[in-house]
Structure 1
Amino acid sequence: MGVSRGEFSSRIGFIMAAAGSAVGLGNVWGFPTQTASNGGAAFVLVYLVLAFSLAYPAFMAEILIGRYGQANAVSSMEKMAKKAWQKKFAFLVGFGGIICAALILSFYGILAGWMMSFAVESAALIAGAQGVADWVTGGSVMRNLFFTTLFMFLTVFIIQRGVEDGIEKWSKRLMPMMIGLLILLIVYVLTLEGAQEGLSAYLNPDITRVLEPNLLLSALGQAFFSLSLGTSVMVIYGSYISKRENMVTIGAQVTLIDVSIAFLAGLLIIPSMYVAQAQGVQIFADDGSLLAGPALVFTVLPSLFEGMGNLGLFVGLAFFVLMSIAALTSSISMLEGPVSFVVERHNADRKKATLVIGMVILAISCAIISNIDLMLGLVATISTEYGQPIIAMLCCVYAGWIWQRNSLLEEIQNGYPEVGESFFWKIWPWYIKFVCPVAIGAVFIHSVL
Structure 2
Amino acid sequence: MTQATSSSREHFGSRIGFVLAAAGAAVGLGNIWGFPTQAASNGGGAFLLVYLIMILIVAFPMLVVEMAIGRYGQANPVDSMRSLTNHPAGKNLGGLVGWIGLSVPCAVLAFYSIVGGWLICFLLGAVTDIFGFDTATAWFKGFSVERNLFGTLIFYVLTILIVQGGVKQGIEKWSTRLMPALFVLFGLLFVYIMTQAGAMEGLKHYLVPDFEKVLDRKLILAAMGQGFFSLTIGGCSMLIYGSYLSKKENLPKMAMNVTLVDTAVAFIAGLVVMPAMFVAMQKGVQIYAEDGSLLSSDTLVFTVLPLMFDSLGVLGQVFAAIFFLLLTIAALTSSISMLECPVSLVGERLGTKRGPTSWVLGGLIALFSAVIVFNFAQMFGFVAMVATQYLQPMAALLFCLFGGWVWNRHSKVKELEQGYPEFTQGWFGKLWPVYVKFVCPILVATVIWASFG
TM-score range, shorter chain: over 0.9
State the alpha-carbon separation in 1 of the partners of residues 97 and 162 from structure 2: 26
* Alignment root-mean-square deviation, CA: 1.0
The aligned counterpart of 1:395 is 399
Deviations 1:322-370 (A, max 9, x none): 0000000000000000100110011112111111100111011001111
State the alpha-carbon separation in 2 of the partners of residues 197 and 100 from structure 1: 39
State the alpha-carbon separation in 1 of the partners of residues 237 and 262 from structure 2: 15
> What is the CA-CA distance between 1:213 and the residue it aligns to?
1.4
Which of 329, 336, 341 is residue 332 of structure 1 equivalent to?
336
The aligned counterpart of 1:183 is 187
State the alpha-carbon separation in 1 of the partners of residues 374 and 105 from structure 2: 21
The aligned counterpart of 1:56 is 60
Which of 245, 249, 253 is residue 245 of structure 1 equivalent to?
249
- Percent pairwise identity: 49
State the alpha-carbon separation in 1 of the partners of residues 282 and 192 from structure 2: 16
The secondary structure found in structure 2 opposite 1:113 is helix
The secondary structure found in structure 1 opposite 2:373 is helix
The aligned counterpart of 1:275 is 279
State the alpha-carbon separation in 2 of the partners of residues 221 and 388 from structure 1: 11
State the alpha-carbon separation in 2 of the partners of residues 426 and 373 from structure 1: 50
Which of 193, 202, 207 is residue 206 of structure 2 equivalent to?
202
Matched, 1:352 2:356: yes
State the alpha-carbon separation in 1 of the partners of residues 216 and 429 from structure 2: 31
> What is the CA-CA distance between 1:109 and the residue it aligns to?
0.2
Which of 88, 92, 96 is residue 92 of structure 2 equivalent to?
88
Which of 260, 265, 269 is residue 264 of structure 2 equivalent to?
260
The aligned counterpart of 1:406 is 410
State the alpha-carbon separation in 2 of the partners of residues 118 and 352 from structure 1: 30
Deviations 1:51-83 (A, max 9, x none): 011100001100000111111111111111121
The aligned counterpart of 1:294 is 298
Amino acid at match of 2:445: G
Paired residue total: 449
> What is the CA-CA distance between 1:5 and the residue it aligns to?
3.4
Map 1:351-370; keep pairs closer than 5 Å: 351-370=355-374
State the alpha-carbon separation in 2 of the partners of residues 22 and 73 from structure 1: 17
The aligned counterpart of 1:24 is 28
> What is the CA-CA distance between 1:289 and the residue it aligns to?
0.6
State the alpha-carbon separation in 2 of the partners of residues 407 and 439 from structure 1: 24
Amino acid at match of 1:116: I
Deviations 1:115-153 (A, max 9, x none): 111111110011121111011111110100011000000
State the alpha-carbon separation in 1 of the partners of residues 102 and 385 from structure 2: 16
The aligned counterpart of 2:16 is 12
Amino acid at match of 1:398: F
TM value normalised by structure 1: 0.99
Matched, 1:305 2:309: yes
Contact 2:2/2:10 (CA < 8 Å) preserved in 1?
A: no
TM value normalised by structure 2: 0.98
The secondary structure found in structure 2 opposite 1:231 is coil
The aligned counterpart of 2:38 is 34
> What is the CA-CA distance between 1:440 and the residue it aligns to?
0.9
Amino acid at match of 2:248: R
Amino acid at match of 2:79: S
The aligned counterpart of 2:322 is 318
> What is the CA-CA distance between 1:233 and the residue it aligns to?
1.0
The aligned counterpart of 2:158 is 154
State the alpha-carbon separation in 2 of the partners of residues 165 and 404 from structure 1: 36
The secondary structure found in structure 2 opposite 1:208 is coil
Amino acid at match of 1:356: V
The aligned counterpart of 1:436 is 440
Q: Show structure 2 runs of 5+ residues with no match.
A: none
List structure 1 segments (4+ residues) > 6 angstroms apart after TM superposition.
Answer: none
The secondary structure found in structure 1 opposite 2:298 is helix
State the alpha-carbon separation in 1 of the partners of residues 376 and 215 from structure 2: 37
State the alpha-carbon separation in 1 of the partners of residues 212 and 431 from structure 2: 29
The secondary structure found in structure 2 opposite 1:293 is coil
> What is the CA-CA distance between 1:2 and the residue it aligns to?
6.7
The secondary structure found in structure 2 opposite 1:242 is coil
Amino acid at match of 1:215: L
> What is the CA-CA distance between 1:232 and the residue it aligns to?
1.3
